[in-house]
Amino acid sequence: MNIKKIGVLCAFIGFTLHACKQLDLPPSDAIDATKAFRNLEDVNMGVLGAYAPMTTSVIEAAAIVSDEVMLPTENTVSNTSSHRWLYNSSSGSVTAAFYEYYVTIDRANQVLAAIPNIPTDGSMQPSMNQYEGELLALRAYCHFELLRAYASSYEPDGMGVPYMKEHAVIYPARPTVQSNFDEINADLNAAKELIPDGFNDNTRITKTAVSAIQARVALYAKKWDDAITYASEVIAAEPLAPKNDFAKIWADESEAEVVWKLARVAGDSRIGAAFFRETGEIVLYAPAFKLIDGFGTTTQRDDDVRFASYIKYDPARGASGAKSAYLVNKYAHGIVPNAPGLTSVKLFRTGEMYLIRAEASLEKDNSAGITAATQDLNALRTARIYNYVNVAFPDKQTLINAILNERYKELAFEGHRFFDLKRRNLPVERWTQDAINTSGAVKLETTAAQYCFPIPEDELFVNKNMDQNPHYGAEQK
């Protein structure tokens, strides 16, 4: 793999995560793992160093290319080619994650290679097992995120992404999606055996977090029984947030139902920066009217704790017509004073698990599945909506549509909508009023090149065994 930025692991005693650098160096210049990792504390620092470069590029890109946001007139400062579906293999907005995830994978592989050579006694072994489990799960998660973004399709024979299991420079061809799923599941199964039950730091991968990753992977792989099993494990371990606590999740004032999050400190990248400027009060991307309307009438929106948590309405901003009256509120509450948008990134929540289990139950069994799926959907809505009255669904298609629409609302701006449409083979369709500044980008057909993110041009140039995704014209080999 031609990884342009090889991560140098800062695992020596006395180093901090802030000392880690990403250097344009060949692997021969990386730290010698046999010298860097000599004891348990070194390994822990290596694990933290593997987590450190994780970014939100895929989350941001997936939200911007979907039908979750609109391009307001006031955005004259941000690159809008992604939102207008004009991206290609040289567009960093959609290709950056390709290298970013492989940096984390490379760091994880370096530490994993060192672990067998580190002497341990009986008292140290549980911690060493935990670190190894975290690294295996992190490697699996990063490969799955790459698969979501860059697979040609999610069908078993689709083109997947190279699965890197060692620190090396090679030039691999693309394996199948099924091969990726097999490798991901093998790493997750091994991780689950190693991570102890009592480990509960949700800024790192716990056993419950492994179950959450497994549930999401099973949903994409259409392994319905597995999706039900793993989602149920998470639901049993981490209940849904009470209504009064839901808004606090996004202000980092509550850990309710947060299974795994990326911690953020001063100086880290801000996920909110994808939607608004920290200064100048400029909205880069506003919530789509299609999404707003999905929450129903004004009264219904007031009853739904998600609406005000995710979307802010400011009529004073919209009075002149020059600025958007609606703003993405989900990431506006910073963890550092005067740093809006700097908030921990919630990668997995229990709410998603209810929707995974509902969809899997329905796809597994059209009769009993309707009952089970209806129960989960109503349970989630009851937890989110005041005065909610349970709803019955007459058939499978009506319920599938309801589950997808609930995912649209529940997981808004979290990087799921674009991939949900892709795994269901549905086009991205925007409302006309959400496309006034998109240069005609109203419907992205499933046959369009941009329905998949492109493999970066640099990778294609260096690795002649790498194939581009379909329909990218001259870039297709």
pLDDT at 188 over 90: yes
Q: What is the pLDDT of residues 268-300, one digit of tens each?
A: 888 888 898 866 578 999 999 999 999 999 999
Q: What is the pLDDT of residues 378-434, one digit of tens each?
A: 999 999 999 999 999 999 999 999 999 999 999 999 999 999 999 999 999 999 999
Q: Which residue has the tokens 């997808």?
A: 404
Give the separation between CA 332 and CA 224, rounded to whole angstroms.
Answer: 36
CATH class of the domain defined by 1-196+435-477 = mainly alpha
| Alpha helices (H) in 258-325, listed in sequence order | 289-294, 298-303, 305-310, 315-318
Q: Which residues pair with 312 in a beta bridge?
A: 327
One-letter amino acid of 107: R
Residue pair 475/457 in contact (Cβ under 8 Å)? The answer is yes
CA quadruple 166, 172, 177, 178: dihedral positive or negative? negative
Confidence at residue 279, expressed as pLDDT on a 0 to 100 scale: 61
User: Percentage of the chain surpassing pLDDT 70?
Assistant: 91
Residue 328, burial from CB neighbour count under 10 angstroms (0-12, 13-18, 19+): buried
Fold of the CATH domain 241-415: 1.25.40
**For residue 150, what is the enclosing H or E element?**
helix 125-150
Q: Describe the chain by its helix, strand, coil percentages, rounded to 5.
A: 50, 5, 45
pLDDT at 4 over 70: no
pLDDT band (50, 70, 90) for residue 374: very high
Residue pair 130/138 in contact (Cβ under 8 Å)? The answer is no
pLDDT band (50, 70, 90) for residue 339: confident
Residue pair 355/384 in contact (Cβ under 8 Å)? The answer is no
Domain boundaries, the chain: 1-196+435-477, 241-415
Give the separation between CA 363 and CA 291, rounded to whole angstroms.
Answer: 25
pLDDT at 253 over 50: yes
Give the separation between CA 53 and CA 32, rounded to whole angstroms.
Answer: 20
First to last CA, the chain: 18
Do the first three CATH levels of 1-196+435-477 and 241-415 match, i.e. the same topology?
yes
Q: Taking residues 34-46, what's their average pLDDT?
A: 89
Q: Which residues pair with 313 in a beta bridge?
A: 326
Q: Which residues contact 31 (CB under 8 A, 6 or more apart)?
A: 8, 9, 11, 110
pLDDT at 12 over 80: no
Confidence at residue 6, expressed as pLDDT on a 0 to 100 scale: 31
Give the separation between CA 302 and CA 308, rounded to whole angstroms.
Answer: 8
pLDDT band (50, 70, 90) for residue 31: low
- Please give the structure tokens belonging to residue 66: 């979907």
Q: What is the pLDDT of residues 88-126, one digit of tens each?
A: 999 999 999 999 999 999 999 999 999 999 988 889 999
Q: Which residues contact 263 (CB under 8 A, 6 or more apart)?
A: 203, 344
Q: What is the dihedral of CA 349, 350, 356, 358, to 10 degrees?
A: -150
pLDDT, mean over the chain? 90
Give the separation between CA 113 and CA 398, rounded to whole angstroms.
Answer: 50
pLDDT at 329 over 90: yes
Residue pair 336/272 in contact (Cβ under 8 Å)? The answer is no
Q: Taking residues 28-55, what's their average pLDDT?
A: 83
